Amino acid sequence: MNSNEALITKFYTAFANADAKTMSECYHPKIHFIDPAFGLLKEEQVSKMWEMLILKSKGNIKIEFSDIKADDSSGSAKWVATYNFSKTNRKVINRISAEFAFQDGLIIKHTDSFDVWKWSKQAFGFTGYLMGWTGFFQGKIQEQALLSLKKFQANQTGS
């Protein structure tokens, strides 16, 4: 296992152990994160997102990871998050592909990809089945995710 594969392993092991602080230590200060739920997040927003997701799960999230590959500049992994979606309390098993770029021995770019329609069918049931494939519904998911993060950050800073 090379150092970047070890870094990815450290990141997901920390996630599986609900350790947002260690996850954050794996990221470069100029981190860019992209996924279908939040869109583009930068720098401190990224660590706050993971912290929020861990806290909202109240210990009821299972993280499994596999297929970690990396060289000096880029890497990838597969991971599965199993949890109950907080808004509907419906069980979700989200299968995610992650891509990474590295700089200064840390993750500088992290891109997660997953099937939003498949996720929305699990999270929202029939509504997700009917609407989850639409750009409108996916936009609403992203809007709500970003609003949640903004509120979480405001509560963290006391402002």
Judge whether 99 and 76 are in contact, CB under 8 Å: yes
Note whether residue 87 is domain-resident.
yes
Note whether residue 108 is domain-resident.
yes
Give the single-character DSSP code of 122: H
Counting the structural domains of the chain, the total is 1
154 HSE (CA, 13 A, CB side)? 7
The model's pTM is 0.92
pLDDT at residue number 93: 97
Helix axes 135-157, 116-124, angle to 10 degrees: 70
How far, in Å, CA of 159 to CA of 152, rounded?
Answer: 11
pLDDT at residue number 59: 82
pLDDT at residue number 39: 94
Question: Domain residues for 115?
Answer: 3-141
pLDDT at residue number 48: 96
**Per-residue confidence of the chain (159 residues) as pLDDT tens digits?**
999 999 999 999 999 999 999 999 999 999 999 999 999 999 999 999 999 999 988 889 999 999 999 999 999 999 999 999 988 999 999 999 999 999 999 999 999 999 999 999 999 999 999 998 888 899 999 999 999 999 999 987 764
CATH code, domain carrying 44? 3.10.450.50
